[in-house]
Structure 1
Amino acid sequence: MLQISRFRQVLILLVLMAGVIFTLPNFFYGRVEQHNDAVALIDSGISTEQAEADVALWPSFLPSNLVNLGLDLRGGAHLLAEVRVEEVYATTIDAMWPEVRDVLAAERDTVGFITREDSEPGVLRVRISEAAGIERAVELVRGLSEPVVTLTGAGASTLKVTSQGNEITVELSDAEKLASDDRTVKQALEIIRRRIDAAGTREPSIQRQGDSRILIQVPGAKSAEELQGWIGTTAQLNFHPVVGRTTDATQSPGVGNFLAPSVEEDGVYYVLERNAVVSGEELVDAQPSFDQNGQPAVSFRFNPAGARKFGTYTSENVGAPFAIVLDNEVISAPTIRQAITGGSGIISGSFTIEESTNLAVLLRAGALPAGLDFLEKRTIGPELGADSVQAGKMAAIVGFALIMVFMGLTYGLFGWIANVALVLNVCLIMGALSILGATLTLPGIAGIVLTMGMAVDANVLVYERIREELKTAKGPARAIELGYERAMSAIVDANITTILTAAILWFVGSGPVRGFATTLGIGIVTSVFTALFVTRLFIVWWFQRRRPKSIEV
């Protein structure tokens, strides 16, 4: 009997409605995008009249998911950055000085007095007063070394410790440098990803290339220079004890100290202790806010370990200044009025609202472990993307029109039912891409155009099978039912092989290849659904209404 249960009819209609509703925002792309950006801005704690107006551009009860346009369709920025992995060597070795000092001081009777000598970056030189204790001192420092945690560095130690006279030299071993390079690039990759995601940029492409390079492509970015300034900021926040102030940029800060310029006072430099009281790594949150004078600022909060250290230091140094240092520049150097034990505080300065928002985002994302050198940068103009979109549209429209004409002329009414299902199929594809937040590229458009042909291919199989069944004089209802049943195996077999190919392309490929595989894979699923269920539902409705004695396919 040619019929579909009420439950299945409702289910099919709900799927079609969902596809149309989730496709709808893409017809108002600019308005919905403004709405989404305004919602993200308000959620971050910043509410302006313009943001409120932009939120009203799209109804809140409708979905606002959009298909993200790739770099080739929308334009944007392309950067190739190289991580300065050598900078981490110096940071790691500097951080070892307190441990080296403490382990040697524990045996002062043997090694005598310990002093740190000036040295090149990445090298720690320590002088002891008792030359006779040099072997024992080297043994103690080597005890701080640990095994290198990599397959290639198995059996090696993290430190290389040598001695000459009464001086010990400590640096990272070659195996540890290789392991450090890998960790540094992975960390930089993740920090860049978090920064760009926090900024609300849609579907960036961030990939590692080679040993120390990172490829960054961000659709919709205004310029490569703006993106470079955004992600190239190290954003290393530390809190340092203040030793003194000076206006002489050439003054020697002394061993264990460094000189940092003041952001607020031109020509003023602070002499700071190199070892920070608390580092930005112990921050768990940072939000844009306003200080007691109503000026833009950034509020921050430490983790329990950072809060404890910050509270202890401020308790013991009431009345003394301490410096808030961002990327080796002193943002402010307030005097500690009272112990700060709550684990939170506020950074105020000459910020605009945009600067305080950006700084909060950078601090939340974390500091880059090392600086970046930008080897290549390109800005792809939106007009090039517009040309690609236009070409893709034209290809889709021409292909769509030819398919509709062919189906209408070849199969008559049944052909036009297949054409309506084809339109709904495209809506389902776009709706699925919107829900997934997938990126549509020019190869992705090619995948959609290919899917159109595959969608009607399933209908051709069904209709040809119905023609064959009509020749047996079983009646139109039975012919339609058998046509769908007996064509199903061929349709499923053909589409399973194609979806396996799409899956392989997605897992093995990257960039444009993965975009093609995404639209092709989604299109196969929606094509089978529309060919086997949607067209059948429409034909059943038509048949139950007309009750024809014979049909012509």
Structure 2
Amino acid sequence: MSLTFRWILIVLVLGWAIYAIIPLSEKINLGLDLQGGMHIVLSVDTDKAIEGKIDNAVTQIRKDLQSEQLEYTFVRKQNVFNVSVGLSDAADRQKVVDTVEKNYPYLTQVGLDDNDKTILFGIKRADETRWRQDAVDQSIEVLRNRIDEFGVAEPLIQKQGDNKIVVQLPGLENPDDALNLIGKTAVLTFHLVDDNVTSEEIKAGVKLRPYDAVELPYRMTDPVTGNVISNDVKMVVKSEPVLTGSYLMDAEVMVSPQDNRPYVAIKFDPTGAKIFEDITRNNLQKNLAIVLDGTIYSAPTIQTVISGGEASITGNFTFKEANNLAIVLKAGSLPAPVTVAENRTVGASLGDDSIKSGVTASIIGFILIVLFIGIYYRLSGVVANIALVLNLLLILAVLAQFKATLTLPGIAGIMLTLGMAVDANVLIFERVREELRRGRTVSNAIDIGYSKALSAIIDSNLTSLIAAVVLFQFGTGPIKGFAITLSVGLIASMFTAIFVTRTIFMSFMYKRTIKKLSI
């Protein structure tokens, strides 16, 4: 490679680095430990996800048996993992088993009792494991959609263990709002109100018919202030929803022209719109309860057939409440409830202290390295220091170009790579010294020194690079930050220590004979 081409390549790389890095404050995102924010560990209740699938299976099994004209005394959830079916005639046992196992391949017969009239079905272990994993993976996607709508820059959302999710929200200004947004399950369902049970009967403790009706709290608000005044009022609704939020296509905040209060306007996809239209057509003058996370928000009377798939959720919301509700509905419901297992808030002042400490330590370390190299290797040390500055510039440029997040471990990774870049120069310079002591010319000593040190430098950096890749693959946020800066720094150090310094030495010796090298 010609000397001219070498300098063209170096200038191009340097120009790109400067372009990528300016202005630095707008190009590199700071991590949670540097700018403050929230660190949350969520635990996903995967049992609830399985229970929801069992509930759906129970409802559908009843319909299947009825369509097959197989009589049964009951179909009910035995526990989270099992469904029991009571038969009117033991002779139908095999037909029932075949019907259930055909339509629900994740269920298999695990027991039989009561004179062959009660069949117990259980979830297959492989399907249970898959459902648990899917619940966590789907929760991560839903949380990511919600947080993106919330407007947090560079959030970290990743799986931890079997059923935990780590969420880091750097630079967050409203942690309470974010926590409410993240933890809301947001299961939206529509139920017909059961008019057969009166409020007096509810107060008297009348027993509801199993599998037909369920008692839910009604969110009562003050019509003047909009504050929630009670969730103790009960309303009886049909247990099976007539429509779910899975058909929801959009949700946005609107303001009522009558009372200037915000509400959430929702729109269903074509399938949901058709279902909603059929519901309103077949249930005129009946009340339809809008239920979110097990609480009734409103139960308007169906006055006319509603086509177009549009509805509204009212509840005397504040604008912030309505906006958060629209966000969670639009992002979708969590497949299972989540609870906060750990919640840490890092203040901005602590982040500023971390930045100052990290920057101070980096500057001191960098100055000490430069001084040592300059004093110990003299003019050759100056060449190494030029390469060292370019190395640091390249690391910051790559981080800025890919909008990577810089953390304290990331700063540690930068300092480590600078040290390794110095180590590469030390190997080269010591080899050159050995060749000079053997009486070789400066030109030959440099050529042989670089040649002999090359394999050791590449081996050392490649093994470190492999370790960095493993850390990135299996580590958490801070460890990933360390791995990224370490990887970028290792590649940059090989370029600067081997290519840049060699080019500078070649320029010194171009068309001249140097008899003594300051090294």
Fold conserved (TM > 0.5)?
yes
Which residue, 106, 111, 117 being the options, matches 2:71?
A: 111
Gaps of 5+ in 1: 33-64, 150-155
Q: What CA distance in whole angstroms lies between the structure 2 residues aligned with 1:307 and 1:159?
A: 38
Equivalent runs, 1:440-455 vs 2, <5 Å: 440-455=406-421
Q: Which residue of 2 aligns with 1:238?
A: 189
> SS of the residue aligned with 1:4?
helix
Q: Shift of the alpha carbon at 1:509? A: 4.2
CA offsets per residue over residues 38-97 of structure 1, 9 Å max, x none? xxxxxxxxxxxxxxxxxxxxxxxxxxx433414x44444444443333334543333234
Q: Which residue of 2 aligns with 1:85?
A: 46
Q: What CA distance in whole angstroms lies between the structure 2 residues aligned with 1:515 and 1:82?
A: 24
Q: Which residue of 1 aligns with 2:107?
A: 157
- Distance change >3 Å, CA 289–CA 124, structure 1 → 2: same
Q: Which residue of 1 aligns with 2:297?
A: 331
Normalised by the size of structure 2, how large is the TM-score?
0.78
Letter aligned with residue 18 of structure 1: W
CA offsets per residue over residues 470-520 of structure 1, 9 Å max, x none? 8878687x8777766675454334322332232233335445444332221
Q: What CA distance in whole angstroms lies between the structure 1 residues aligned with 2:122 and 2:507?
A: 77
CA offsets per residue over residues 508-546 of structure 1, 9 Å max, x none? 5445444332221110111122234444566677788x9
For the 8 Å contact 1:264–1:332, the answer to whether it is kept is no
- Distance change >3 Å, CA 218–CA 542, structure 1 → 2: same
Equivalent runs, 1:185-334 vs 2, <5 Å: 185-199=136-150, 200=152, 202-209=154-161, 211-221=162-172, 228-244=179-195, 250=203, 254-255=209-210, 256-265=212-221, 268-288=233-253, 290=255, 295-317=261-283, 320-334=286-300
Q: What CA distance in whole angstroms lies between the structure 2 residues aligned with 1:485 and 1:288?
A: 68
Q: Shift of the alpha carbon at 1:449? A: 0.9
Note if 1:504 corresponds to 2:474: no
Q: What CA distance in whole angstroms lies between the structure 2 residues aligned with 1:302 and 1:159?
A: 38
Note if 1:419 corresponds to 2:385: yes
Q: What CA distance in whole angstroms lies between the structure 1 residues aligned with 2:369 and 2:489?
A: 16
Q: Shift of the alpha carbon at 1:140? A: 1.9
Q: Which residue of 2 aligns with 1:102?
A: 63
Q: What CA distance in whole angstroms lies between the structure 1 residues aligned with 2:376 and 2:174?
A: 51
Q: Which residue of 2 aligns with 1:402?
A: 368
Equivalent runs, 1:8-19 vs 2, <5 Å: 9-19=7-17
Gaps of 5+ in 2: 222-228
For the 8 Å contact 1:243–1:273, the answer to whether it is kept is yes
For the 8 Å contact 1:142–1:161, the answer to whether it is kept is no
Q: Which residue of 1 aligns with 2:226?
A: none
Letter aligned with residue 193 of structure 2: V
Note if 1:524 corresponds to 2:475: no
> SS of the residue aligned with 2:100?
coil
Q: What CA distance in whole angstroms lies between the structure 2 residues aligned with 1:163 and 1:3?
A: 88
CA offsets per residue over residues 137-182 of structure 1, 9 Å max, x none? 6742652135998xxxxxx834657564897576644736555444
Letter aligned with residue 144 of structure 1: V
- Structure 1 window deviating more from structure 2 (359-368 vs 341-350): it is 341-350
Letter aligned with residue 191 of structure 1: V
Letter aligned with residue 16 of structure 2: A
Q: Which residue of 2 aligns with 1:457?
A: 423
For the 8 Å contact 1:93–1:172, the answer to whether it is kept is no
Q: Which residue of 1 aligns with 2:4?
A: 4
Q: What CA distance in whole angstroms lies between the structure 2 residues aligned with 1:386 and 1:494?
A: 35
Q: What CA distance in whole angstroms lies between the structure 1 residues aligned with 2:79 and 2:489?
A: 60
Q: What CA distance in whole angstroms lies between the structure 2 residues aligned with 1:141 and 1:93?
A: 16
- Distance change >3 Å, CA 503–CA 315, structure 1 → 2: same
For the 8 Å contact 1:505–1:513, the answer to whether it is kept is yes
- Distance change >3 Å, CA 368–CA 537, structure 1 → 2: same
Which residue, 6, 21, 24 being the options, matches 1:23?
A: 21
Q: Which residue of 2 aligns with 1:37?
A: none
Q: What CA distance in whole angstroms lies between the structure 1 residues aligned with 2:494 and 2:80?
A: 63
Q: Shift of the alpha carbon at 1:448? A: 1.1
Letter aligned with residue 372 of structure 2: F
For the 8 Å contact 1:67–1:438, the answer to whether it is kept is yes
- Distance change >3 Å, CA 290–CA 474, structure 1 → 2: farther
For the 8 Å contact 1:80–1:215, the answer to whether it is kept is yes
Letter aligned with residue 69 of structure 1: G
- Structure 1 window deviating more from structure 2 (442-451 vs 214-223): it is 214-223
Q: Which residue of 1 aligns with 2:224?
A: none
- Distance change >3 Å, CA 466–CA 383, structure 1 → 2: same
For the 8 Å contact 2:414–2:489, the answer to whether it is kept is yes
Q: Shift of the alpha carbon at 1:452? A: 0.9
Normalised by the size of structure 1, how large is the TM-score?
0.74
